[in-house]
Amino acid sequence: MTLRPIRRLLIANRGEIARRIIRTARRMGIETVALYSDADRHAPHVREADFAAHIGASPARESYLDQAKVLAAAKATDADAIHPGYGFLSENAGFAEAAIAAGLFWVGPPASSIRAMGLKDAAKKLMAEAGVPTTPGYLGEDQSPERLEAEAGRIGYPVLIKAVAGGGGKGMRRVDEAGAFAAALAAAKREAAASFGDDRVLLETYVTRPRHIEVQVFADQHGNVVHLYERECSLQRRHQKVIEEAPAPGMDAATRAAVTGAAVRAAEAVGYQGAGTVEFIADASEGLRADRIWFMEMNTRLQVEHPVTEMVTGQDLVEWQLRVAGGEPLPLKQEDIPLNGWAMEARLYAESPASGFLPSTGPLEHFRLPDAADGVRIDTGVEEGGEVTPFYDPMIAKLIVHAPTRTAAASKLADACAEVEVWPVKTNAGFLSRCAAHKDFIAADVDTGFIEARLEALVGTGQPAEAVAMRAATAFAHLDAADRPSTPWSPLSGATGFRLNGHPRAEARLAVGGEIVTAPLVDADLDAEGLLITEEDQVVVFSAGDAFAFTRAAAEAAADGGPAADGLLISPMPGRIVSVGAAVGDKVVKGQAIITLEAMKMEHALVAPFDGTLEALNAKPGDQVIEGIVLARLEKAG
């Protein structure tokens, strides 16, 4: 084997993983090439790379998923290697073969390994032959409904139906009794066919208290295979990971040896090379036990959660990938890989937990993440002044922490998430902070149903605490008493330290989150930290990761009317303005459609809450608007 270091690396990905790969490559003296779609033209990863290539329109299928365009970009920029990151083409065996055929280093496993692990039924059979424990179930070729229902009865309910070619929870159904099996099977097969073009399923016994344990493995081209310990990924919502940690709580030495040994055998069985993750499901009803952990699947790529492994081992996994791809042996032997302290990672998504976790898109007018400091690492693909578009995954950052103990790590993660300030895009930062601070999480009482069982408490009420409303009321009072800052997004620097004169009203009436709230007015200094004034006359208060946008409520507003009763028409969600039914100065009647908004493929009419006059309008057909923005203001007649 000829050892030849990588010279110029094309990163076939975007966002935070592209930036993370660039950092390591630069440190190693490797030049980088960034790819970008129309939507990513001004993205940070494009600016930070040594070279950049435009590969198409904003939709991923017309850019990042277009294999021919990616390979053409590699040729045009004289790259000699491709790193696929995760997602997109990272587990596409055909793309791996095409890259190698083009004479490029492929920073990933062989195509044969990707194929071997790509179909769940074949992978489970292969693992069983390699001595890797697999979940009891049915993997047969006979896919008739009659045979599947009979096998479900043999396994015993509850059973889990899983798409053979699936992932991310698609084509998956839990069935608790025989009478529900036929309908669940039909639904799972329809979803599998639509998502993967393959409606075949397998059956598994359903683990009633499941934990998701995965093992980071690494292999080189010389036959060496090691593990870098395990990660706990049980905090999930709808089969999507939310918080990950390393190591797994409650993992004793014997169980760790069993599960990591099984992961190494899995990698050896498919002739693996590079970074991979072997995922297991554990029955945690009696704690973690070696005889109650079974193989689930193998991800043949770097994982989103790889930083927690880096934090506890002190290793740079991307550097390992690049060295292995260039023909070098693994940097460490198994006995030399350390395991120190505890690490946790939270995925910061552009979504609104209070609105059923709907994605949130739009400009990042204000974007503040905690400072990277001792034991705190921030990986993000966006920056203030950028935009979250609807074209890609809504994850905008990863907050990773490290501490000597699990309790300390959980506290540090909760604090880091609480420091997040993002506006006007909504995020799950407050939700994440509440997850990390929950007493059951701190006690390591976790399984994959953790979030759903506590969802109401973790999402929160969506309404501000009295102290938050008081800060907003104080801010409005200061604005009334002093000149407003000249820039709409100024953090009230001109008002800081100003004290109210005279005797203000005893309380202020404010609109927030579709409700009217009252807050006492106090004669106090204004602390501008964590406050924003928007050009829509909103005061945004950041508190424990949540953002609350307040507007003034007119004194004559109906007590139960919310903001609309005060004449404010506010966008209920991100969307596109389809039509505007009145002009400024027009007389309108109660119930008249003023603005029609298209969102989530449906039209929503914003109507006049009373007879009156349209005093202000901040919308025109074709505009893309964000959630919470004031689109119009009406004055009540009489």
What's the rounded Cα separation, in Å, for the pair 338 and 318?
17
343-371: burial string, b at 16+ Cβ within 10 Å, e else: bbbbbbbbbbbbeebbbbbbbbbbbebbe
> Is 279 within 8 Å of 253 (Cβ atoms)?
no
SS3 state at 164: coil
* Structure tokens given for 277: 């993750």
Beta-strand ranges (E) seen in 531-574 are 531-533, 539-543, 546-552, 568-570
* Structure tokens given for 193: 């066919």
H helical segments located in 130-232: 145-155, 181-196
Q: Which helix (H) or strand (E) holds 256?
A: helix 253-269
What's the rounded Cα separation, in Å, for the pair 466 and 99?
58
What's the rounded Cα separation, in Å, for the pair 599 and 74?
38
Question: Considering 19, 211, 256, 301, which one is annotated as catalytic?
Answer: 301
What's the rounded Cα separation, in Å, for the pair 136 and 464?
48
Q: How far apart are the first and last CA of the chain?
A: 88
What's the rounded Cα separation, in Å, for the pair 327 and 1?
7
Q: Which amino acid is at 218?
A: F
Burial class, 244, CB count within 10 angstroms (exposed 0-12 / middle 13-18 / buried 19+)? buried
249-271: burial string, b at 16+ Cβ within 10 Å, e else: bbbeeebbebbbebbbbbbebbe
Beta-strand ranges (E) seen in 78-118 are 81-83, 105-106
SS3 state at 506: coil
Q: Is the dihedral of CA 73, 74, 79, 85 positive or negative?
A: positive
Among 180, 137, 184, 176, which Cα is nearest to 157's? 176
* Structure tokens given for 546: 């949540």
What's the rounded Cα separation, in Å, for the pair 257 and 229?
9
Q: What are 635's strand-pairing partners?
A: 613
Among 423, 439, 420, 433, which Cα is nearest to 459's? 433
Pairing between β-strand 81-83 and β-strand 51-54 as defined by DSSP bridges: unpaired
301 is catalytic: yes
**Catalytic site residues?**
301
